[in-house]
Structure 1
């Protein structure tokens, strides 16, 4: 009887309806993208449910582009190298801030946190000159290097490491384990959800990175997949259905990754909110 009353609670019904509305609003752009991707260019701006025969020509145009494999390869290499290097930098740094005591650690962490309020757009010109002086301009390193030290992932892992009992550190130190050994054999295995969340977020952000490769990579064969959609142009302007077909192809790896890591993603966000 109590369950029936709770299910008929007007507040709960209203909250559910609001969540459904927000969910549909979030799904609508993706549905529009897929629908328009199967349309010819002349019907791109017709209403969403306008009757038309779906065509696959736009997807064929994207896949058959001579540089499509280069763009895909460049994107995959950039994502994998960035994530691996980011974990190599962030995991030891997070462990040091969470468990090791050293002079100036709080001040240094505060400085890192202050960088979160600085928009990346304000550093475009300095980064352009910096990459050019180092000879990194027009290469994948201009995308990889800025991804190595994201403070958001540092804070995320610090929260998880601080939730691990210190008794494990003391027991490992008594057994003669080094700090690096403690990190690799205790903290990393116990922080699977946090690391999975960091990998998922990193994959999405780097895969969808548009601004950096658009500004700092000029060669068409070195470009990444998302900004490379700008090359699908016609005399009248952008070929919208072809570009949306490319966007639909580019989003497939993100959707698949989220499906397979959803359990760890939800657990990581939940634990970060409770234990932090």
Structure 2
């Protein structure tokens, strides 16, 4: 969560210095291959206004702007997604803080446009709402997450929604989990990968030879997040499909260590044996060797 907030602040720093923000659009959007945003001050604060620019340099005003919402307007990203239709997206972000209520985070609002004429592009309200969200703490002490902020993840979510699939696909869920895991945001992993979502994914995308990588990563991520029971359940399903998977032995051993050390040692020993057989003994962590004894 901290990295997302930090990146937004970097964007704002550029604006505060009076610089325009320019993005090249590839693929283009209805002939526009560039978009430019500029900060304009008014009595309330800074407003970000954008223009789409075609190959001939003609500029077309974007209907919506990033308005100040308790703070100056900020820009997170602007890009094009090509599916059955071609979409232009830009995301506004602003900090929200109510210290007395324990609320602190970033609100993201994404605008999604389609059209066949740059002079008359239309906002898709349903897609815009689906890709927007708040990331941060809530009044009751809980946390809220904006899952679809990054360009890669938002693009996949949009394409899923375009074909009428409201639930996250396995590929999308995998990307979300890996992104949070990379940032060591274990609370977010626990929030996203609850039992209900795991069960839904298993129904729609059963554990098989083609899906074991994603489910192995889910099990690992859940283990890192302290969700050992659910992690073990997921990893055991992977084991039934791919019992010889080396890294799986280590993941199961790590999860079991918290509540069944005897069984955990068996998996550690299997992992150590397979690594030695593959000539990778030097890559075995010292902690694993100690636990396998």
TM class, shorter-length: under 0.3
Q: Which has the higher contact order (CA 8 A, sep 6+)?
A: 1
Query: Which structure shows the higher helix fraction?
Result: 1
TM-score, normalising length: structure 2:
0.21
Query: Which structure shows the higher strand fraction?
Result: 2
